[in-house]
Amino acid sequence: MRRLLLSAATAVALVAGGLVLQWVPSPGAPGSGASPGGGDEFTVAGDGSLPEQRPALREPGAPLSTAERGYAIGLALTALPGSSRDVLDQPGAEVLAADLPAPSERAGRRRVEVSAYDYDDNRLHQVLLDLATGRVIAEQTLRGVQLPPSAAETQVAIDLALSAMPAPAFVDQFRQLTGGPLLTPEQVGVIAGTTSGCGQNRCVQLLVALPSGRYLSTDDFVVNLSRRTVTLLPAGGHRHG
């Protein structure tokens, strides 16, 4: 059974400063949504399994239900090449979006467009599905098109940044401002944004904030998720690797 692992926090897609951004708050970070008592403001409604049977379908044009979206994602992943890998190097591409297509592509039917990035060959797959029949209506494969990063991609990017040698400037800045070392992503809030300049690779830049809301300096590096590398940039430079 296919499973889709989602972050506990709700991811907010943003567009700012030329970056396509994904916000994944860490516990205690600005806007994390942690309750005053320390508890989480959400409940676990299932085990993360994607529906394998067609759910009840809503009317064409109505917002997708959770079951419809999960069913569409499962169908899309099955339609992709068997060699597809996600950002964690697990079978199946990294799901970036699943929503209603443009009105012109709905044809009065219940259709969903799923976008997923295949790290095996660095390509974005966009699959248009008809939920009533479970069939693929259209599919296109693109290179160099970067949609907002997923929560998993953001997590991998900050993990790589924290383990990079030499370390990016924000790691030392955190120590100077707080008096302690930055050891885990949970100590900060992280925003990830895809950036151009890496050719066919998928790269992101990060914005990192203290719990106080102050942002640290992160314009000196870029994370290449395709290569699992961190490239330090020259002062004022924009070289990506």
Domain segments of the chain as ranges: 12-38+149-232, 66-142
Residues whose CB is less than 8 angstroms from the CB of residue 162 and which lie 6 or more positions away in sequence, other chains included: 171, 182, 183, 184, 185
Q: What is the pTM of this model?
A: 0.80
Which structure tokens are listed for 44?
């676990």
- If you search the block for the tokens 């970070």, which residue do you land on? 29
| The predicted structure's pLDDT at residue 36 | 32
Output the pLDDT for position 49.
80
C-alpha span between 89 and 109 (Å, rounded): 35
Q: Is the dihedral of CA 227, 232, 234, 236 positive or negative?
A: positive
Alpha helices in 56-168 (DSSP H): 66-79, 151-163
Both ends of the chain: CA-CA distance in Å? 37
pLDDT of residue 27: 35
Query: Whole-angstrom Cα distance, residue 201 to residue 194?
Result: 11
pLDDT score of 39: 42
- Domain 66-142 fold is Nuclear Transport Factor 2; Chain: A, (3.10.450)
Q: Given this model, what pLDDT does residue 236 score? A: 55
Q: pLDDT under 70 in the chain at which residues?
A: 1-48, 236-241
pLDDT of 197 reads: 82
